[in-house]
Amino acid sequence: MEMEILFGTFFVLLLIGTPVAFCLGISSFATVVYMGFPPEVVFQRLNSGVSVFALMAIPFFIFAGELMVRGDIARRLVGFAGSLVGHLRGGLGQVNIVASTLFGGVSGSAAADASAIGGLMIPQMKERGYDVDYSVNITVVSSIIALMLPPSHNLIIYSISAGGRISIADLFTAGIIPGFILAMSLMIAAWFVARKRGYRTGSFPGWRMVGTLFVVAAPGLILIGIIFGGVRSGVFTASESSSIAVVYALLITVAVYRTLDWNGFVEAVMSSVRTTAMVLLVIGCAASFAWLLAILRIPATLVDLMLDFSDNPIVILLLINVMLLMLGTFMDMSPLIVITTPIFLPVAVQFGIDPVHFGIIMILNLGIGLCTPPVGAVLFVGCAVGKIPISAVMRSIWPFYFAALGTLMLVTYIPVLSLWLPSLFH
């Protein structure tokens, strides 16, 4: 009965439009009361869920990303990306994808990526004769590349949800090759769609211009090296690197580019506070929910059910992917990581799947959910920037969905794509 109360309350509240954090908290509270535990347990678990030192990295990485957005870093990255791939078929679409990859390595946030790159690229693409749905499709799906690259705070949440036993440095490293594969897959899909629609090609500006624009964008790109190199080498932890990222972002945007004024700084602070508050509230409430899942032995039950269904790792991974894709259509990413990691990670480990590899599978899978209605946060951002109904986008987004799903299958069934790069550092 406890399981019915936990999940029943959660889904009823979710269906009537209650924010996810409150769905998790209220359903946990109702279950705890029914089980006869003191109600204070829910708040204790909420507090312990956010009282993890590694979580300090999240607000600082969010703040660094906001500073970069308001400090005009995105425009310089777009310029550099344009010099590299702007001459290809559907050039601005290709620029959009490469710029999302570069900016993702700075922000680590899909929503920030869609907002910053979309705000720059979608109006330009519309002016150059590209259809709005094509512009939004590329912006939305390419933004999930940011989730795979350092400093993705979702990889940090996964590590913490796994009990803090998985190296954040390994996760940062493991996501790089899958992130680039996703970018290449989307570029191929963009090329085919552009060819079908007859979009024009541009001209290559020459390597001198590429070099010039690289120098202009370099201060922003160096942040990627600071974050990844520092964490990977052990010079500083992920939490320390996030603080260094903020200091560096301030120096670049204020002293080098001189594009961040006082009003922009205040906006970055306020936006970071709001985003951090939402993320940490969701993580805390999801921690209470995940604790109840463990108490009710739901992960162990699921392992037994899957063992009864099949003992083939290929089938088990397919089932987990399908379930995560379904869950991602109506829940946001952060709470799903906290809730589903304790459920599915033991199953994966039981079948010999490396926890780092499984983390990359989960992040990519749930990232696709951010682009899927009815609760696709990044999809909403892209449609808002492009001023186009979601229904119009959904009619033509399928080539990019298939590219993302194809990448997910490659990452799922070829572990070396995720594990080879981390192995070089051991």
Q: 15 is written with which tokens?
A: 């269906």
pLDDT at 186: 94
Q: What is the pLDDT of residues 191-223, one digit of tens each?
A: 999 888 888 777 778 888 888 888 888 887 887
- Least reliable range by pLDDT among 167-176, 177-186, 212-221: 212-221
Whether the predicted pLDDT of 411 surpasses 80: yes
- Reported as a pLDDT band with limits 50, 70 and 90, residue 385 is confident
Mean pLDDT of 115-128: 81
Q: What is the pLDDT of residue 68?
A: 80
Per-residue confidence (pLDDT) for residue 362, from 0 to 100? 95
pLDDT at 107: 67
At residue 284 the predicted structure's pLDDT band, cuts being 50, 70 and 90, is: confident
Mean pLDDT, the chain, integer: 85
Tens digits of residue pLDDT in 59-102: 888 888 788 878 777 778 888 888 888 778 777 888 889 888 88
Cα four-point dihedral sign 327, 320, 393, 370: positive
pLDDT value at 45 more than 80: yes
Residue 410 has pLDDT above 90, yes or no: yes
Q: Which of 75-79, 242-246, 320-324 has the lowest mean pLDDT?
A: 75-79
- Give the residue, 402 or 14, on which the prediction is more confident: 402
- pLDDT band for position 53 (cuts 50, 70, 90): confident
Q: What is the pLDDT of residues 327-375, one digit of tens each?
A: 888 777 888 888 888 888 988 888 889 999 999 999 999 999 888 877 6
Q: Which amino acid is at 153?
A: H
| Residue owning tokens 């969701």 | 282
Indicate the pLDDT class of residue 181, thresholds 50, 70 and 90. Answer: very high
